[in-house]
Every structure is written in structure tokens, then in C-alpha cells.
Amino acid sequence: MFEEAQYLAPVTRRADGSIEVELSRSHPGFADPVYRERRNRIAELALRHVPGEPIPAVEYTPEEHEVWRIVSAELAVAHRELAVAEYLHGCERLALPKDRIPQLEEVSDWLEPLTGFRYLPAAGLVELREFYGTLADSLFHSTQYIRHHSVPLYTPEPDVVHEVIGHANALASDRFAALYRLAGEAARRVETREALEFVSKVFWFTLEFGVMAEGGELKAYGAGILSSYGEIREFRQMDIRPLDLAAMGTTTYDITHYQDVLFRAESMAHLEDVVGAFWATCDDDAIARLALPVS
């Protein structure tokens, strides 16, 4: 979670010290007091995490595990048809459970021997530089709550399905993990807010919502497409544009609905050559030149 951070529900502390997650009126769980209480408890748990200590385990309810089972099953079918091979390779290596929500500590223990990545719990919004910067240390900030059961096919708000099925499977691939780390290094290197936002938008249009040509078809590798069994069935109909750093870094997007503008890499190597090399070397000056309006 990060840029999507704009959508993340604000977390506030009440006078009595308890935690309140403020869901917006349009959130499917807004009028569900049981869901809202769950969100408050899970945010509290994340806030209790001490760096270096194991991530506090959430005792998920049978209903929450059921949401995971439904979404996992739908996504597994969609992925075989619509996900890039490198992501499927990550799925095979990580072998996530399909019958229950895994704990972030478990996900970390499975990922670390593969690519070095571990997860950190996030109660709510994580500041942009912190979210991206820690990727350079092979750390991924993640929410722990699950989407509301009434709308399992899509949530604009990153949840544990998105963070784990979308991102952890990619982070189990050496090639994708290397790209995440390079994004983190870029976020640490740039100084201005504008440059940081440019780096984060390139991340949004690639590791979050990227698509790729493969075997004469269009496949998805972005975690935001790969965690929504609604959106993954639609991406081929969207406005598909060629991979272009200046365009990705300056195009605006609305996180509350399916993404209608997507950028296509021609292969993994093409993504690495263009986006990986950009993150590996970019600085404020280079980004300022890229961000200049074309006259």
C-alpha cells in the first residue's frame, strides 16, 4: 500500500486510547458495525508491532477465511489464463495456502529464503518515502485486514488479498523482487517531492497495474490487476499504451475504479531495460527533464 495510500482509511486514536478506522461512506463495510470493529482491532494490532519482533497474528474469523477462499479460487483460474509466466513462477515457488488467510509473519518466512523480502504490518497510511524507501531493504509494508465480504471481486482499498496474492507472489520472483528493490533505491535517491511522486507513478503503472505482451497475447503482471478477479477480466479492453517513462510519470489516475489507461511492456527484459534501468539511475534532474511538458 502506498500511492493507494490516498485511499486508505485514516486511522485515529480516540480519547480513551482506542483506535478508530474511518471508512468512507462509499466503503462497502461502512454500515456494517461488525466489520468496522474488526478494522479497528486489526489496526490496533499493527500499531502494537515492535520492529524486529514477529508481526502480531490476526485471529481471522471463519467468514474472513471464506472471503480468502472465494477470491483465491477465482484468481487461480484467472491467473492461469491472464498472468505473465514470471508471476506464475512466483506463485509456484511461494505456494500460498488457498484455504485460509496466511499470517504476514508466515508470508515473510516463506519469502525470505526465496528473494530476501519480508513484510511489515501497516495500520493505515504509510508515508510515500517510507513505503517505497523500505523496499530497498527488501521490506514490504502491508495491511492485514480483508475486503468486505459483500464485494469480493474488487476493492479500491489495498487489503491482505491484494498485498499477499498480488504482491507476495511477484516478490517470490527474483526478477520482480529486483525491480521492487530498484524502485526503493530510486525513492531514497531522489530529493524533491515531485521526483518522488514521479517514481511512485512509474511504480503504479508498472508493478501495480502493468501489462505485458507474451506469446502474442496481453498478460498482466501488476499486483492491482492480479488481486481483483473483476478487474483482471477487463484489462484487455482498456486503453493500452506503449511503455513510456515520461507518460507513466505524468499521467493521472483515479484509484477508485478499474484502471482505464494501462502501459504495455513487450517482455520482462523490456520492462527491466526501461523501468529497472530508470530506477537504478534516476535523479531529480533526469526526472525534471522527463516531466517537462512536450511542446
| Binding range to ligand NLE, per CB under 6 A, among 180-188, 192-200, 223-231, 242-250 | 223-231
- Give phi and psi for 24, each to the nearest 5: -75, 160
Cβ 157 to ligand NLE, closest distance in Å? 7
Give the Cα separation of 38 and 21 in Å (integer).
10
Cβ 50 to ligand NLE, closest distance in Å? 28
DSSP string, 139-192: EEEE------TT-TT--SS--HIIIIIIIIHHHTSHHHHHHHHHHHHHHHH--S
19 contacts 145 by C-beta, under 8 angstroms: no
120 contacts 138 by C-beta, under 8 angstroms: no
How many residues line the site for ligand NLE (CB under 6 A)? 12
Of 64-93, binders to Fe ion (CB under 5 A) are: none
Q: Which does 201 bind (CB under 5 to 8 A by kind): ligand NLE, Fe ion, none?
A: none
143 binds ligand NLE, rule: CB under 6 A? no
Q: Which residues, including other chains, have CB under 8 Å from residue 268's CB and lie 6 or more apart?
A: 84, 86, 175, 212
155 binds ligand NLE, rule: CB under 6 A? yes
Which one from 72, 108, 173, 227 is the annotated catalytic residue? 227
Which one from 208, 214, 228, 231 is the annotated catalytic residue? 208
Q: Which does 227 bind (CB under 5 to 8 A by kind): ligand NLE, Fe ion, none?
A: ligand NLE
167 binds ligand NLE, rule: CB under 6 A? no
Give the Cα separation of 124 and 269 in Å (integer).
34
Q: Which does 142 bind (CB under 5 to 8 A by kind): Fe ion, ligand NLE, none?
A: none
Give the Cα separation of 104 and 164 in Å (integer).
8
DSSP 83: B
Cβ 132 to Fe ion, closest distance in Å? 11
Residue placing its CB nearer to Fe ion in the complex, 8 or 290:
8
Residue placing its CB nearer to Fe ion in the complex, 168 or 290:
168
Give which of 255, 238, 207, 228 is closest to 79, Cα–Cα: 228
Q: How does strand 211-214 pair with strand 217-220?
A: antiparallel
Is residue 162 annotated as a catalytic residue, yes or no? yes
224 binds ligand NLE, rule: CB under 6 A? yes
Is residue 197 annotated as a catalytic residue, yes or no? no
Which one from 27, 157, 162, 163 is the annotated catalytic residue? 162
By the criterion CB under 6 A, which residues form the site for ligand NLE? 4, 154-156, 158, 161-162, 208, 224, 227-228, 231
- Active-site positions read 162, 167, 208, 227
By the criterion CB under 5 A, which residues form the site for Fe ion? 223
